[in-house]
């Protein structure tokens, strides 16, 4: 009789222990989103000079992912109610294709993120977050190295509320992809991480960014080109009225730029362009007309009369802590455009990664090797494009 009772007791234990474990696992799974949410909120609260919150977190154990919903971050001393960072949906997951290559890395896909820099809110305060603080916060939220990054329907804006009317310079409908950020593949390439972006600026201009980077280095190397084309110049009126006392009746504006960084040395240029613009409006006061006429007179002197284009190129070069634009080259380029040669509305493709090395830091042999690798990269890219078209 006692043996029968013992057997029954063993059977009960045999089933009881797995049931308890199962219940605990279910309870942990149900509590996990709250645990992750509380941890992220703690991380945001510990960023010096800022405060933030997460609305909700969804967990998907099957695909090794979690989705952060309704995350925002604001400056602690901000007078406005506009969040500095507003991320409605951020999907963070294991990048499975890299897992098959023996690397555990993550990918982030952000939907409708907004970065809004309100000039008055972001005035520097003692005790604000530095680079290390931001890096620690990102590492705590995404503990696995990020290898792939996507943005869909994003927004970047600069806002100045003290101006009347308010200044709001923005890029909407931002689409961005950045791959191989941790160099899972093509490690031998000099700049192994491609980045591409597009968007729509104020005045409905077309924005494009493309290039390659190496983010594994402490100071990232990169070779990037940027263009903003065919934007309505009248969209700049709030900005130009506040800072220069002028406005546009019509015309187009654009901005073109190339930047290269190698071993902490940066070289590049920014080229603004105004085409077919008129300054004087019918409703302006006498003083407005007088000032705009004065500006228009110099605009007439400095523009290319054949193409009705006013442009200049602002070159810059130096280390990352001391980037200075050359004043004399800027003036020379204005007159060069006015009387000798019109700037073309395009990126000049004259800045390459090898140009970013300081004089003496790279030998002729190294330059030849860089050119050789660049040619090989271009051939490989063209080959992939042909294969993609065939597929």
Can you tell me the distance from the alpha carbon of 98 to that of 105, in angstroms, rounded to the nearest whole number? 7
**pLDDT given for residue 62 in this prediction:** 84
Examine the pLDDT at 353 and tell me if it is beyond 50: yes
**pLDDT given for residue 97 in this prediction:** 83
- Looking at 180-189, 231-240, 309-318, which range is the least confident one? 309-318
Average pLDDT over residues 369-385: 70
Find how far residue 62's CA is from the centre of its chain: 31
Percent of the chain clearing pLDDT 70 (strictly above): 73
Q: What residues contact residue 34 under an 8 Å CB cut-off, 6+ apart?
A: 57
Over the stretch 9-68, which tens digit does the pLDDT of each residue have?
A: 555 666 676 777 777 777 767 778 899 999 999 999 999 989 999 999 999 888 889 999
Average pLDDT over residues 219-225: 90
**pLDDT given for residue 148 in this prediction:** 95
- The Cα-based distances of 8 to 2, 14, 114, 301 in angstroms read 10, 10, 63, 103
Average pLDDT over residues 333-346: 52
Average pLDDT over residues 255-278: 86
Q: In terms of DSSP H, where are the helices of 153-236?
A: none
Average pLDDT over residues 92-116: 90
Query: Is the pTM value of this prediction over 0.95?
Result: no
- Asked whether the CA dihedral 35, 36, 41, 45 is positive or negative, the reply is positive
Average pLDDT over residues 99-124: 88
Which of these, 190, 222, 180, lies nearest to 373 by C-alpha position?
Answer: 190
Are 82 and 116 in contact, with CB atoms under 8 Å apart? yes
Q: Are strands 146-160 and 221-232 parallel, antiparallel or unpaired?
A: unpaired
Take residue 119 and report the two structure tokens written for it. 């000039």
Take residue 339 and report the two structure tokens written for it. 């009387």
Q: Where are the beta strands (DSSP E) in 202-348?
A: 206-214, 221-232, 250-262, 265-278, 309-311, 314-319, 324-325
Confidence tier at 340 by pLDDT (50, 70, 90): very low
**pLDDT given for residue 170 in this prediction:** 94
| Of 47 and 323, the one with more pLDDT | 47
């Amino acid at each position: 009789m006692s043996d029968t009772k013992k057997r029954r007791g063993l059977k009960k234990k045999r089933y009881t222990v797995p049931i308890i474990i199962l219940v605990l696992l279910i309870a942990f799974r149900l509590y996990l989103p709250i645990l992750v949410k509380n941890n992220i909120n703690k991380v945001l609260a510990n960023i010096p000079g800022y405060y933030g919150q997460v609305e909700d977190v969804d967990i998907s154990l099957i695909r090794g992912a979690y989705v952060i919903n309704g995350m925002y971050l604001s400056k602690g001393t901000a007078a406005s109610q506009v969040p500095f960072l507003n991320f409605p949906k951020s999907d963070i997951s294991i990048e499975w294709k890299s897992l098959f290559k023996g690397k555990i890395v993550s990918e982030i896909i952000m939907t409708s993120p907004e970065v809004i820099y309100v000039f008055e809110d972001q005035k520097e305060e003692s005790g604000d977050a530095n680079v290390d603080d931001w890096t620690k916060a990102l590492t705590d939220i995404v503990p696995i190295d990020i290898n792939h990054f996507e943005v869909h329907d994003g927004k970047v804006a600069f806002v100045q509320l003290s101006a009347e009317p308010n200044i709001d310079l923005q890029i909407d409908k931002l689409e961005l992809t950045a791959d191989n950020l941790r160099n899972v593949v093509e490690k031998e390439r000099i700049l192994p991480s491609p980045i591409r972006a597009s968007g729509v600026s104020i005045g409905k201009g077309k924005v494009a960014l493309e290039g390659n980077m190496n983010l594994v280095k402490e100071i990232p190397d990169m070779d990037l080109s940027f263009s903003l084309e065919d934007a309505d110049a009248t969209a700049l009126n709030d900005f130009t009225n506040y800072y220069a006392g002028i406005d546009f009746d019509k015309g187009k504006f654009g901005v073109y730029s190339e930047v290269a960084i190698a071993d902490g040395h940066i070289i590049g240029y920014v080229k603004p362009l105004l085409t077919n613009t008129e300054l004087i409006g019918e409703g302006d006061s006498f003083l407005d007309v007088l000032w705009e006429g004065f500006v228009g007179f110099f605009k007439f002197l400095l523009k290319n009369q054949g193409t009705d284009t006013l442009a200049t190129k602002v070159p810059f070069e130096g280390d990352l802590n001391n980037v200075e634009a050359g004043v004399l080259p800027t003036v020379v380029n204005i007159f060069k455009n006015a009387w000798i040669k019109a700037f073309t509305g395009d990126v000049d493709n004259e800045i390459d990664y090898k140009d970013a090395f300081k004089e003496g830091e790279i030998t002729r042999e190294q330059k030849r090797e860089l050119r050789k690798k660049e040619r090989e990269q271009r051939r490989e890219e063209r080959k992939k494009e042909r294969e993609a078209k065939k597929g």
